Amino acid sequence: MKFASRLRPFLLLVVCLLFGLSMLISGCGSQSTTSSSDETSTTNSSPDVDQSGARTSTEPPAKPLPKPAGVLSQKFSCQEELVAGVTEAGGVLYIPCESTLHAIEASSGQEKWSFPTNEQMQVTPGFEAGTVYVASNNFPAQSEANSHNVYALDATSGKEKWRAPVTDDILTLEVKGGIVYAAGTGKTFAINAADGKIRWSSDHGAIFVVAGKVPGTVLMADIRLVGTNRNATTLYALDESSGREEWRRDFGGAPNALDADSATVYLETMLEYTPDEGQTLPPKITAVDAATGADKWQVTEGETRPKYGDMDNMSPFALLGGNISFFYQLFAKPSTTNARLTGSGQPSTLFVLDAGSGKQKANYDTSFPLYPNVQEAGKSFTGGYAYAINPDMTGAANEDASISYSLSAISLTDGSEAWSVPIKDPPRDLLAVAGVFNGHVYLKSISGGGVWEID
C-alpha cells in the first residue's frame, strides 16, 4: 500500500480541524451495545495501564488541577507546523520541529540542547530510563539514499547513543522494557534500547502499538484502504520475542485508539464509508480476548447517516478504574441561532462504560463542543480528568477574525465540569491540548509551531 493512501484519513481529519471540527475530545449521540456473537461478557477487567492513544489511570483523584488564571506563557516557537506530539520527562519538554529535536526546560522555556537529524520527524518521541528515542523519515524524499532512522539520545546532553537504520516510514514509537518498537507503513522493528541492534522485524505496519500490557505479546492496529474510499483496521497480536503473528482481526473504519490489560484488548474505530458512498457507519469500541482475538463485547455509537449529512465524532477513550470513558459529539449543519456553536458542531456528551461488559454506567451532557488535538488524546486525559479546549468559532471562516478559547476540566467519572477559564490573549493559531505535565496544562498550535503553558 502506498504511504499516501495510509495517510488519507489523517489528512481528512486535518481538513476537518481547519474548519473548526473537534476531533479529540468530542461528544455524543445515541448509544447501543452489541456483540458479534450476540452475547455480552461480564468478565471484569482491571486496566492498570498506560494508553497508546488514550492515557489511563486507576485511581481518580479527589479534585482536578487547580484552576489557572488563563494566562499563556510561550515555551517554544517553531517556524513550521508541529506535526508530532510533545513528550515530557523530568521537567523537560521534548519537541520535534521539522528535522530537529529540541529539549526545553518546561519551567523557564530555556533550550537545553537540540539534535538535528536532517530528516523529517513526524512521530512523538519516546522516553525510558534517561534516554529519548526519535524516528525520522525521508518523506517527502530528500535524497535517493535511505534516511529512515531511529535514534537514541542521552536525555541530559542530547548526545547520540546510537542510530538504527530502518527501511520504512515510521508512524509510531513505543518504548517498553528495554525494547523500542518502531512501526511503519508496512513493517515493524523491535530494537534493543541498549545498543540499537534490531531484534526482529515483521511485515506488519501499524499506527498504534501497545507493548507490556499482555504478557509476551505486542499489539498493533494498522489502517488499510479497501477499494477506493473505505478505511479498514487490522488488529494484530505478535509474539514479543520473535515478532511471529499470534492472531489477527479485521474491522471496518480507521483505528482511533488501542489499549489493553492482561486479558482484554480494547480497540476504537472511527467512521466507515459504505461501498455505495451513500452512508457512514458510526464509531465503535470493541473488546476482544487478548489470547485469541475473539469478541467479548462491542459498543456502537450513533446511527447510520448520509455521508454528506450529519457526522459523528468520538474522542479516543480513557481506561479509568475499570471504566472506559469517552466523549461523543454529533456534528450537524452550522447553527444559525447559536453563534457559539457555529461551524463547530453540537455540544458533547461524556459516556462511562464498564470495561468488563461494555454496559453504560453513566452519561453527562456538556454545554459545549470540545476541541483538543487528535494526536494528543492520551495526554489530555490525566488523573481522572479531561482537559479540553472549548473554542468560539464565530467568524472562523474569516481569516481576519480571531478565535477565543476557554479551557475546561471535566471529570472522567461523571462528566461534571470542575472549572472553566477563558484563555487570555490567545494567538491567532488554532490551539489544541498538547498535554498535562507536572500539574500544568500545555497547549500547542495545530496551524503553527508554538507551545504554551497555561498559568
Residues 13-26 pLDDT 10s: 333 333 333 333 33
Does a structural domain hold residue 444?
A: no
Higher pLDDT, 389 or 336: 389
Alpha carbons 191 and 434: distance in angstroms, whole number? 27
Does a structural domain hold residue 114?
A: yes
Mean pLDDT of 89-113: 94
Whether the pLDDT of residue 232 is over 70: the answer is yes
Calculate what percentage of the chain has a pLDDT beyond 90.
39
Cα torsion angle, 260, 443, 446, 306, sign = positive
Alpha carbons 126 and 87: distance in angstroms, whole number? 7
Q: Quick one: pLDDT at residue 188?
A: 95
* Domain total of the chain: 1
Residue 11: φ, ψ to 5°: -65, -35
Q: Quick one: pLDDT at residue 229?
A: 64
Q: Quick one: pLDDT at residue 312?
A: 60
173 — pLDDT class (breaks 50, 70, 90): very high
What are the pLDDT digits (tens) for 401-453? 567 788 888 887 777 889 999 999 888 777 788 888 989 999 888 767 789 99
367 — pLDDT class (breaks 50, 70, 90): low
Residues 6+ apart with CB under 8 A from 185: 1, 3, 6, 168, 169, 171, 205
**Residue pair 120/137 in contact by the 8 Å Cβ criterion:** yes
ω before 140 within 30° of 0 (cis)?
Answer: yes
What average pLDDT does the chain have?
75
Alpha carbons 160 and 165: distance in angstroms, whole number? 14
Whether the pLDDT of residue 394 is over 50: the answer is yes
Does a structural domain hold residue 379?
A: yes
Map grid coordinates 489493553 to a residue: 260
Does a structural domain hold residue 443?
A: no
Q: Quick one: pLDDT at residue 301?
A: 63
189 — pLDDT class (breaks 50, 70, 90): very high
Higher pLDDT, 450 or 113: 113
Q: Quick one: pLDDT at residue 5?
A: 40
46 — pLDDT class (breaks 50, 70, 90): very low
Give residue 323's identity as a one-letter amino acid code. N
Residue 240 CA to its chain's centroid (Å)? 23
Of 222, 364, 360, 236, the closest CA to residue 299 belongs to 360
CATH classification of the domain holding 213: 2.130.10
Cα torsion angle, 327, 330, 331, 333, sign = negative
Q: Quick one: pLDDT at residue 227?
A: 66
- Tally Cβ neighbours within 10 Å of residue 435: 25
Does a structural domain hold residue 75?
A: no
Q: Quick one: pLDDT at residue 386?
A: 83
**Residue pair 219/239 in contact by the 8 Å Cβ criterion:** no
**Residue pair 40/411 in contact by the 8 Å Cβ criterion:** no
342 — pLDDT class (breaks 50, 70, 90): very low
- In what side-by-side order are the strands of the sheet with 198-202? 170-176, 179-184, 188-192, 198-202
Whether the pLDDT of residue 39 is over 60: the answer is no
Mean pLDDT of 102-114: 95
Alpha carbons 401 and 430: distance in angstroms, whole number? 12
Higher pLDDT, 374 or 299: 299
Whether the pLDDT of residue 292 is over 90: the answer is yes
For residue 118, the enclosing domain spans 3-62+84-384
SS3 content of the chain, % helix, strand, coil (to 5): 5, 45, 45
Does a structural domain hold residue 74?
A: no
Does a structural domain hold residue 189?
A: yes
- What predicted TM-score, i.e. pTM, was given to this entire model? 0.78
Whether the pLDDT of residue 304 is over 70: the answer is no
Residue 435 CA to its chain's centroid (Å)? 11
Range name among 51-65, 191-205, 260-274, 288-302 with the lowest pLDDT average: 51-65
170: which 3 cell numbers?
A: 515510521
Strands 450-454 and 272-273: unpaired
374 — pLDDT class (breaks 50, 70, 90): very low
Q: Quick one: pLDDT at residue 404?
A: 79
Alpha carbons 257 and 283: distance in angstroms, whole number? 11
Does a structural domain hold residue 223?
A: yes
Name beta bridge partners: 220: 209, 236
